[in-house]
Amino acid sequence: MTRAWYRPMTARRSDEEHRVATPLELLFDLSFVVAVASAATNLHHALTEDHIGHGITGYLTVFFAIWWAWLNFTWFASAYDTDDVPYRLTTLVQVAGVLVVAAGVPGAFDRADFTVITVGYVIMRLAMVVQWLRAARSDVERRACARRYALGITVVQIGWVARLWLPESLFWVGFLVLVVAELAVPAWAERVARTTWHPHHIAERYGLFTLIVLGESILAATNAIGSGLDAGHSSGALISLAAAGLVIVFSMWWLYFDHPAEGLRTSMRVSLTWGYGHYLVFASVAAVGAGLAVAVDHDLHVAHLPAVAAGMATTVPVAVFLLVVWYLQVYPRQRGPITWAFPAAAVLALLASFAPAPIHVVAVVLAALVAVTVVVERDTAHREVS
């Protein structure tokens, strides 16, 4: 089939049948693997050196840039994917921007230098401005909405560049103001006309990115355990950590995909809450791999942080994951006493950090806790069906 050089960027139907992720979207997602891996690796190193505050804040700020650029393209593509040559080329420019962001992650962690990350981020976002201007030209019905997106994104990018010249004392003020501005653009733009994103396509795209960050967690933990074994350290503790890590990641996969998103087009509040809430889902899943790597370092006596903090490097992201998945995908559809299994498991996960036991034992307890949550949740679902 001959590829169209140009198609008018008209809106796709929100009820289009057989709408699935395209090869270009999959390539776009895979380009984020490098950035996510770099963020998680630097979080692991910061926590191991007991730079807890620095590591967490650096991770959350870097991950916002990664997540927000991914989110914006995902929702836009769901409504306006023409798959012509200009669309493909503009998307590939965004992929290049992702790689620039990944290259800037170490500098952001080590020296709080966000220059490279900002450059990569602006490349991705200005490419989105081009896409929105194309949509404004062709989609008359939603022209005002597309123009608002283009204007809002442009103004905020000017703000990100200007923030590089702010004094260090105003770093967080500038960052938080610009984050709020970024989050406000979609709500402001969609007030005049809602774009026709496809709910099932969006749910699939989010699921695919969840798989990517789950894979990153497995890779991070595997590399850490492999390094320990190669160095000739005790295999018993490392094998326990490896088994516990697999159970935790498998259980997180089970809990997330057992509750597919529904009713995303019910209202703007519902769609924004679900879409924005996944920042914590993605960030927590990726952080689990870093936490397991910290646990390995602590068992090998190369970490410089206390045992409780080492345990919390895994228990905190697991608890956040349980709470957010419960709030976004379980609680809206399933009420009753059993739905509180998720928050209860999150609380117990945090308490496990304080157990007077070796870190690999804490990891095993955490794995058992998350696995029990899966069993309880599945048993409840089976009873409801019966």
3-state secondary structure of 4: coil
- Indicate whether 164 and 31 sit together in one domain: yes
Percent of the chain with pLDDT over 70: 93
5: in domain: no
Average pLDDT (141-157) is 97
Q: Of all helices (H) and strands (E), which one includes residue 242?
A: helix 235-257
Average pLDDT (141-152) is 97
Q: Residue 258: what pLDDT?
A: 85
Q: Residue 378: what pLDDT?
A: 64
16: in domain: no
Q: Residue 371: what pLDDT?
A: 80
Helices and strands in the chain, H and E counts: 12, 0
**Who contacts 69 (Cβ-Cβ below 8 Å, separation ≥6)?**
94, 97, 98, 101, 121, 124, 125
Q: Residue 159: what pLDDT?
A: 96
126: in domain: yes
- Indicate whether 335 and 362 sit together in one domain: yes
Average pLDDT (290-299) is 88
Of 135, 166, 189, the residue that ends a domain is: 189
- pLDDT exceeds 50 at position 385: no
- Indicate whether 184 and 206 sit together in one domain: no
Characterize 356-379 residue by residue with b for buried, 16 or more Cβ atoms within 10 angstroms of its Cβ, and e for exposed: eebbbbbbbbbbebbbebbeebee
91: in domain: yes
Average pLDDT (45-69) is 93
CA distance 70 to 97: 11
Q: DSSP characters for 72-94?
A: HHHHHHHHH---SHHHHHHHHHH
- pLDDT exceeds 70 at position 72: yes
- Indicate whether 106 and 178 sit together in one domain: yes
**Who contacts 124 (Cβ-Cβ below 8 Å, separation ≥6)?**
69, 73, 94, 97, 98, 101
7: in domain: no
- Indicate whether 212 and 349 sit together in one domain: yes
Q: Residue 362: what pLDDT?
A: 75
Contact call for residues 314 and 249 (beta carbons, < 8 A): no
Of 44-53, 123-132, 333-342, least confident by mean pLDDT is: 333-342
15: in domain: no
Contact call for residues 9 and 135 (beta carbons, < 8 A): yes
- Indicate whether 70 and 216 sit together in one domain: no
Give ∠ CA 173-174-176 in degrees, rounded to 5. Answer: 65
Of 27-41, 98-112, 292-306, least confident by mean pLDDT is: 292-306
Between the two ends of the chain, the Cα-to-Cα distance in Å is: 49
Average pLDDT (291-305) is 86
- pLDDT exceeds 70 at position 234: no
Of 157-171, 304-318, 358-372, least confident by mean pLDDT is: 358-372
3-state secondary structure of 259: coil
Q: Residue 1: what pLDDT?
A: 44
- pLDDT confidence of 42, banded at 50, 70, 90? very high
CA distance 88 to 66: 20
**Who contacts 140 (Cβ-Cβ below 8 Å, separation ≥6)?**
none
- Indicate whether 176 and 206 sit together in one domain: no
84: in domain: yes
CA distance 35 to 28: 12
- Indicate whether 340 and 270 sit together in one domain: yes
Of 115-124, 155-164, 298-307, 349-358, least confident by mean pLDDT is: 349-358
Q: Residue 373: what pLDDT?
A: 77
- Indicate whether 41 and 180 sit together in one domain: yes
The CATH number assigned to the domain holding 227 equals: 1.20.1410
- pLDDT exceeds 90 at position 344: no
Longest dimension (CA), the chain: 66
Of 162-171, 197-206, 361-370, least confident by mean pLDDT is: 361-370
Which residues constitute the domain of residue 370? 199-385
- Indicate whether 244 and 361 sit together in one domain: yes
- Indicate whether 57 and 162 sit together in one domain: yes
Average pLDDT (62-78) is 95
Of 189, 216, 237, the residue that ends a domain is: 189
Burial of 349 (0-12, 13-18, 19+ CB in 10 A): buried
Contact call for residues 299 and 360 (beta carbons, < 8 A): yes
Q: DSSP characters for 8-51?
A: --PPPPTT-TT----HHHHHHHHHHHHHHHHHHHHHHHHHHTT-
Of 164, 189, 214, the residue that ends a domain is: 189
294: in domain: yes
**Amino acid identity of 128?**
M
Considering its fold, how many domains does the chain have in total? Answer: 2
Q: Residue 3: what pLDDT?
A: 56
Tokens of 74: 């995902």
- Indicate whether 133 and 207 sit together in one domain: no
